[in-house]
Structure 1
């Protein structure tokens, strides 16, 4: 099994044995199952809460005194300012009482001179104020058009029909709120999974090293086989965890109607989320395994995993802070191709849509090409450092054999 002329099954058989040992150990851990269950409940709960708070009702309820045309004007003004307004025709006294009781957000009355009077309980919300301000301005325009001998209705139709002639040099890219939300959720899931499972790899290496179990294991398997088996086992468990959490959240979102995009589009996001978890985990897990081999105490794990961990955090922060407000950001687009950031940025971009196929192929190809190099570097550091106990091993020393 340890000879250089061993067949592939002989060389990779121990890797699978170590992997199954890791899977069995982690699966039997109540903490791992509890974390998975709590995360799944949190994701499904978030979906349910979003459904409850969205409610599907109007943004504001406004009462009005006067004819039906006043109500139509209020609704149109709200729509022009991005506010969904429900209107109710009431008397002045009843309207004031409903405002006092909180049943109405505001009461609107237009006097014969065209002045808009608004009654609120304490103060108008900024969104309602914007709508009634638009109403007041529109009413003032009507008064001036009438004084000049024109027809306000004809004037409104002419204004509504006026549109600029726009020529797009490239096809426009639009992003729905559902796509933005799905992108952010994808980023959060991949970020948490990489952080949690990556650190589990490093802590597992240190645990075996500090307890001297690694010395017994290395009597039967090679260092690279032990490292690869640990990464593979924890990776497969992390993959199962990701599928359960992402799949459960997607099913809940589609079932409750929180996401209105198609089931096929949602499934595509989940598939790409899994793909990028696999690629990102194996790339970062190799680094975490090598980093864990440099120290002998659990207290020192945080220090050695912090540099790669900061790259994961940086990619996540860039993704969730920049992309929702600027989905076509050129800098983020380029960063999402790089193996360091693609596992955290590309899932968000894919969820939001509009990623050209060549960019996906490029990003996948770059990280796939980077993994063999990471395997060589991580295996060398792990092999030379995992049996060194005591003080932290310097990286340059870890490249030199004992």
Structure 2
């Protein structure tokens, strides 16, 4: 055991002291938040304003096309032929032609552009025309505009979980987002840290350093020390990420809450009635924070750490066996497919599990040790019975114990074998060598 602790200490300190580890650990949450902030800014702020010319021969859509921050509609009084001639010289982005008999022949609408228009712009124009035509037809049938407006409702339901603790507000959107983020992080971490174990073993074997180490440390102790050492590195990084993320989230929540509380009080004073001021919790950002807080965060964090460690131990043992069986990185490719395919399939299954977290596919894939670390983390935010979580944990423990045993049998033989191309048949023989 003493030798295992020495190897763990070496593997841990060597990686933790690297500048890259410190930079990514500290800047990771900030870079992650900044990346999504940049994506949102680019999606919202990078859209240029477009000018759309409209030739409406029916005169039914004069006030229907509303100007927005990104769309400006210019109604023309000229005919379509003249408008097309002028369009080529103008700086307009598109020309919409609405024929006189558009109600009888709605397919007569045309959109002209120097280049092809986007699907979003095309859909927006079509929906505006469709809505007006529907209103006109309903009005002709004796249904007034007031009745039409009253008939249009926007249903926003609130999901409430019924448990032994009583009623508790829940959020399907937050559960989906948190589940997929946790699943993706485990998917990514297993590949990254497992590959680190494999490359570390391959590098030591190639440089013949392992021959010196094996003289004082048993192969099994060396493999376990490397696996656990890298696991502690990953666990340290994720723990710091969680703490930093929680700190950033708490600070953001406090700032935004005080900001919107001040906005609410200002609007209350101006309007003279609280009903006219939107509550802070009704703001989209505050709704997101409330949705996240409605989840069982301690359970999610605890299960995430367990399934991260369990999934890592399961796959890193196999990565370590591959690293010991080959002489260089090029030879690892033939053995990578059987290891990476279950991880990839787990992430693919997660897309279907999101749709039905309690279905048969979700249950069985969250029990199989090779897929449970990702799939179970996708299910947990939706609420999973305690016995299923415990069963999945138990099977995962048995899975990585068995995998480590098989990997250690391969490791003890392959770590000192050079110059031989290894096949799957040869690996099976190594497992049963005495």
Same-fold call, TM cutoff 0.5 = yes
State the Cα distance separating 1:270 from its structure 2 match: 4.7
| Alpha-carbon separation, structure 2, partners of 1:395 and 1:25 | 31
Is the CA contact 1:61–1:85 (under 8 Å) kept in the aligned structure 2? Answer: no
Distance 1:118 1:277, change over 3 A: same
State the Cα distance separating 1:234 from its structure 2 match: 0.8
Residue 196 of structure 1 pairs with residue 185 of structure 2? no
Aligned position for 2:233 = 237
Any idea what the Cα deviations from partners look like across 1:147-201, whole Å, max 9, x if unmatched? 45x24236526754899xxxxxx99x9732x544444433332222111211111
Any idea what the Cα deviations from partners look like across 1:335-373, whole Å, max 9, x if unmatched? 13211011232333335x344444333322210222222
State the Cα distance separating 1:233 from its structure 2 match: 0.5
| Alpha-carbon separation, structure 2, partners of 1:58 and 1:326 | 36
State the Cα distance separating 1:13 from its structure 2 match: 2.4
Aligned length: 368
Is the CA contact 1:114–1:139 (under 8 Å) kept in the aligned structure 2? Answer: no
Aligned position for 1:9 = none
| Alpha-carbon separation, structure 2, partners of 1:175 and 1:106 | 42
Distance 1:131 1:326, change over 3 A: farther
Aligned position for 1:346 = 376
- Partner secondary structure for residue 389 of structure 1: coil
State the Cα distance separating 1:236 from its structure 2 match: 0.4
1:175 to 163, 172, 176: 172
Distance 1:345 1:161, change over 3 A: closer
State the Cα distance separating 1:145 from its structure 2 match: 4.4
| Alpha-carbon separation, structure 2, partners of 1:72 and 1:362 | 63
- Partner secondary structure for residue 172 of structure 2: coil
Residue 367 of structure 1 pairs with residue 396 of structure 2? yes
Distance 1:143 1:195, change over 3 A: closer
1:223 to 219, 223, 232: 219
| Alpha-carbon separation, structure 2, partners of 1:209 and 1:194 | 22
Is the CA contact 2:49–2:72 (under 8 Å) kept in the aligned structure 1? Answer: no
Any idea what the Cα deviations from partners look like across 1:119-171, whole Å, max 9, x if unmatched? 886676544544554444443444444445x24236526754899xxxxxx99
Distance 1:313 1:135, change over 3 A: closer
Distance 1:357 1:130, change over 3 A: farther
Distance 1:120 1:249, change over 3 A: farther
Distance 1:186 1:161, change over 3 A: closer
State the Cα distance separating 1:224 from its structure 2 match: 1.9
1:319 to 332, 347, 350: 350
| Alpha-carbon separation, structure 2, partners of 1:246 and 1:329 | 30
2:338 to 295, 301, 307: 307
Aligned position for 2:310 = 279
Q: How does 1:85-164 map to 2 (within 5 A)?
A: 92=75, 125-148=118-141, 150-153=142-145, 155-156=147-148, 159-160=151-152
| Alpha-carbon separation, structure 2, partners of 1:20 and 1:278 | 18
Is the CA contact 1:206–1:295 (under 8 Å) kept in the aligned structure 2? Answer: yes
Is the CA contact 1:293–1:386 (under 8 Å) kept in the aligned structure 2? Answer: yes
Distance 1:119 1:290, change over 3 A: closer
Distance 1:51 1:159, change over 3 A: closer
| Alpha-carbon separation, structure 2, partners of 1:326 and 1:62 | 44
State the Cα distance separating 1:49 from its structure 2 match: 1.7
State the Cα distance separating 1:71 from its structure 2 match: 10
- Partner secondary structure for residue 338 of structure 1: coil
State the Cα distance separating 1:390 from its structure 2 match: 3.0
Stretch deviating more after TM superposition (336-345 or 154-163) = 154-163
Aligned position for 2:288 = 260
Any idea what the Cα deviations from partners look like across 1:276-327, whole Å, max 9, x if unmatched? 211110111122222222223343233334321222223234435x456776
